[in-house]
A and B are shown apart, each in its own frame.
Chain A
């Protein structure tokens, strides 16, 4: 039974999302419970697998008992398992959080939402556990296609944003597919482990240049790396709130993880081709960090501001990756988790404010502290983490990244990190000033009645996420030494 656990991580959410339309026809409550139960099981199974990877070593699973490299293989290392835990845990919270947003909609929309959401999560979980290049492409498309449809649920403007993302995202997926095709062409295999052995003598071949660049562009679009981020601001701002949270926190992180796997675990990262691409990636990431932060300052809508700040967030991940040393790598991966928790919680808060008072603009937040104290204090902690003040998790991302940059003597990056902290302070303290210092200008109309400031289904995820950000900061030494250092590839240690 234990041998099947890696497969369960993916299969359970998939089964449930396929059942969702049928169940949804019968009862909305049952639908929600079922989806929650599915993700809960995913969390459990990925946690068990994580434990196994930490104690025993990498976990393998062959589909249909077809031995790799002929069959499809799942390979889970500690990092992959941790990301799987994170993806399914955040998905679980988002299902809990979604209640208020869809409870007044008809069964069809409910069923569509939960079913598509489940498929999207299935795709992302598949991407983290799959050990097969083409299989990974299939999961990438599963998650992308369901994302396009989900964004379109956000109303007329969402439809336009979805169409835009569809066009750009399809290009990205195709570029990824091309690179897989070339890889198959020169190595004759799709299995990662096999590929990593066969590719070493081929690193000098001209095709490698194309492969690395295609991968970079394809995954770069998916993770919204500057300047391939054009789809992101609209998609994030017009999608339904729970979905924006998931997109910003998780959807753009998993491709980053895939990129790390290709560049550092499959290819020879010390080869000139990869070094050059990583260097370009680093420069783009640095520009993206500054660009995202400056654009965030220019926004008047809270959600759009967070969207641009996500462009900066992914920049940190890529920047850490491009340093190509252990510290940079730890910083990059740590920031994947850290940024996921921060951004999801911030979007949750944005959604809470929207549901309760219908506010979307930042200057409507005046005096909000009195009305929503828990959310606002959570916001304060999250904002500190975004700025990078100790002892929140954001500070430690910065610690690892600056350490990594110093090791390589990359002063440019250090300047960018410092500037970005200051820019973050500018746009977060603006909101803090509005919410904490200014007085309420007019009486607010409250859209939902509840015992606490928000219904518990919304408040609980906010608080949980905020506490996680704090915990990730304070206990980061354990986290880093237990999980992250074990996955820093040997070549860069």
Chain B
């Protein structure tokens, strides 16, 4: 691994921040200029993904200059294979979501659009910062920025219901954030560093007890955002936000940030060997397995489409957590790729839910039986994404789940394979039924073909198509699959910086 000092990490992170500032400045005067900033920054980031990923795949690590922020601890960014995966997903989906948002927000004629787009850009800024953070300290800064930047989006409509959801969100994320911080400082205190090293940087464990405690504190901090039961309460509540927010933030940026922090903690702070010897990782695996099943069962009982998707997110996020908790190379790779896979599929589902709401005003599944007649394209995409979530071959979901299952076998944990299969069947029952009922039921209301406006439909088509393309050619685009394999290899062998 050769580490190159480069300005690229900052170039990568800054466009959304600058966009957020420009949006705030120009926002209220001219909506078109405002949206132009979002799109411009999105395009720059999109281009950067393709410019940078090659160099990363060639084994380079791009590191920014260090900026000492407290004595002995510096703030710096580092682009490595793992960070590239999350940053790539966030950047690619940001631009798609921006087009969708513009259509959605204008169609729904929402208030406070300036604040909305600015916060949106800030969230992406934070997500990119989290992916490129070179140490726990930097990561925590961006993690807290993400917490705050999401808050205005959750309470976007400013009604009592939203304000209460916002409070709940803050309560969960701020408190667990503080717990995370205690873990970070404790670790810093014991080891004198927080810089990520593939395969873990903790050496000389004489007394395992503090490390077990630190691991638990950090897991609490990360898994609240990742929606691990019992820390998931904010996620369904936050579904009151406008749909594009739910789509990008609750399927991509926020929840994945939580999962990604776990990737860093397990792969780059503790490392597989240490975790295996500490023995604490099994609890996390059980919690994840429990969450997968329970979330699926709860999802079945939801009639509100977005809430059903929210619980599905909780369950799917725990696939990632389970994959990480199995601590072997195959499962780690599967977990990383599931970050990509789930992002594309879930965002499609949310986009479809938003399209249905814009077109018909309906939020409940019982209201949209037979809607396939009116919105066949949307519902077809919904079907593809649902099948993907349940792990159907030739969709992106299959690839990640296949690797997760292989990882479970490699670890000799047959119970987890059972969990994976059970959950696949459960998700087939609660998501695919929506799609089936949409086409096979007849409804007086939906008789003629009337699709949603094009600026909403096209993003749905793009993400839906990507879910299939990545299922057949997992290396399409910026080689997410190869990046995941490479990361897992590095982490498992503990080579490189």
| A residues lining the B interface (CB < 8 Å) | 384, 387, 389-391, 396, 398-400, 402-403, 406-407, 414, 418, 421-422, 425, 429, 433, 437-439, 474, 476-477, 480-481, 485
Contacts and interface: CB of A to CB of B under 8 A. Distances in A.
Nearest to A411: B182
Interface string B153-180: 0010010000100110010001100110
Interface stretch (B66-74, B234-242, B366-374, B439-447): B66-74
A433 B178 CA distance: 21
A403 B141 contact: no
A477 B175 contact: no
B178 A418 contact: yes
A403 B185 CA distance: 6
A422 B175 contact: yes
Give the 5 A-B CB pairs with smallest separation, nearest first.
A390-B141, A418-B178, A477-B68, A406-B189, A402-B185
Nearest to B189: A406
Contacts of A400: 70
Contacts of B140: 390
Given A384-B148, A406-B185, 8 more contacts: A387-B174, A391-B141, A403-B189, A414-B182, A425-B174, A477-B69, A477-B70, A480-B71
**Which one of B163, B175, B182 has the highest number of Cβ atoms from chain A below 10 Å of its Cβ?**
B182
Interface of B: 68-71, 140-141, 144-145, 147-148, 155, 158, 163, 166-167, 170, 174-175, 178-179, 181-182, 185-186, 188-189
A477 B72 CA distance: 9
Contact of A477 (B71, B147, B170, B188): B71
Nearest to A481: B71
A439 B111 CA distance: 13
B166 to A, nearest CB: 8
A481 B145 CA distance: 26
Q: Interface on chain B toward A: helix, strand, loop, or mixed SS?
A: helix
A402 B181 contact: yes
Nearest to B174: A425
Nearest to A476: B70
Contact of A389 (B70, B144, B163): B144
23 contacts: A387-B174, A389-B147, A390-B141, A390-B144, A390-B145, A391-B69, A399-B185, A403-B188, A406-B189, A414-B182, A418-B175, A418-B182, A421-B178, A422-B175, A425-B170, A437-B155, A474-B69, A476-B69, A477-B68, A477-B69, A477-B70, A481-B71, A485-B71
B182 A402 contact: yes
B235 to A, nearest CB: 20
A485 B70 CA distance: 12
A433 B68 contact: no
A396 B70 contact: yes
A45 B173 CA distance: 46
**Which one of B185, B188, B189 has the highest number of Cβ atoms from chain A below 10 Å of its Cβ?**
B185
A377 B108 CA distance: 28
A402 B186 CA distance: 8
Contacts of A429: 167, 170
B96 to A, nearest CB: 29
A433 B179 contact: no
Contact of B174 (A398, A403, A422): A422
Contacts of B70: 396, 399-400, 476-477, 480
Contacts of B170: 425, 429
A418 B179 contact: yes
A433 B163 contact: yes
A421 B170 CA distance: 12
Contacts of A414: 182
Nearest to B158: A437
A387 B71 CA distance: 22
**Which one of B140, B141, B144 has the highest number of Cβ atoms from chain A below 10 Å of its Cβ?**
B144
Nearest to A390: B141
Contacts of A485: 71
A402 B217 CA distance: 14
B189 to A, nearest CB: 5
Contacts of B174: 387, 421-422, 425
A286 to B, nearest CB: 16
A414 B184 CA distance: 13
A169 B137 CA distance: 43
A425 B141 CA distance: 17
Nearest to B140: A390
Contacts of B167: 429
Contacts of B69: 391, 474, 476-477
A235 to B, nearest CB: 32
A122 B145 CA distance: 42
A398 B189 contact: no
Nearest to B145: A390
A391 to B, nearest CB: 6
Given A480-B70, A485-B71, A398 B181 contact: yes
A406 B210 CA distance: 11
Contacts of A474: 69
B178 A422 contact: yes
Contacts of A398: 181
A438 B158 CA distance: 7
A189 B141 CA distance: 51
Contacts of B163: 433, 437
Contacts of A439: 158
Nearest to A396: B70
A399 B182 CA distance: 9
Nearest to B167: A429
Nearest to A420: B178
Contacts of A477: 68-71
Contacts of A425: 170, 174
A232 B202 CA distance: 48
Nearest to A439: B158
Contacts of A391: 69, 141
A389 B177 CA distance: 10
A438 B160 CA distance: 10
A321 B215 CA distance: 29
A402 B145 CA distance: 21
A437 B154 CA distance: 12
Contacts of B71: 477, 480-481, 485
Contacts of B185: 399, 402-403, 406
Contacts of B144: 389-390
Contacts of B179: 418
B66 to A, nearest CB: 11
A439 B179 CA distance: 34
A393 B163 CA distance: 28
A422 B182 CA distance: 14
A439 B160 CA distance: 12
B144 to A, nearest CB: 5
A435 to B, nearest CB: 13
A397 to B, nearest CB: 11
Contacts of A387: 174
Contacts of B178: 418, 421-422
**Which one of A399, A400, A414, A480 has the highest number of Cβ atoms from chain B below 10 Å of its Cβ?**
A399
B153 to A, nearest CB: 13
A290 to B, nearest CB: 15
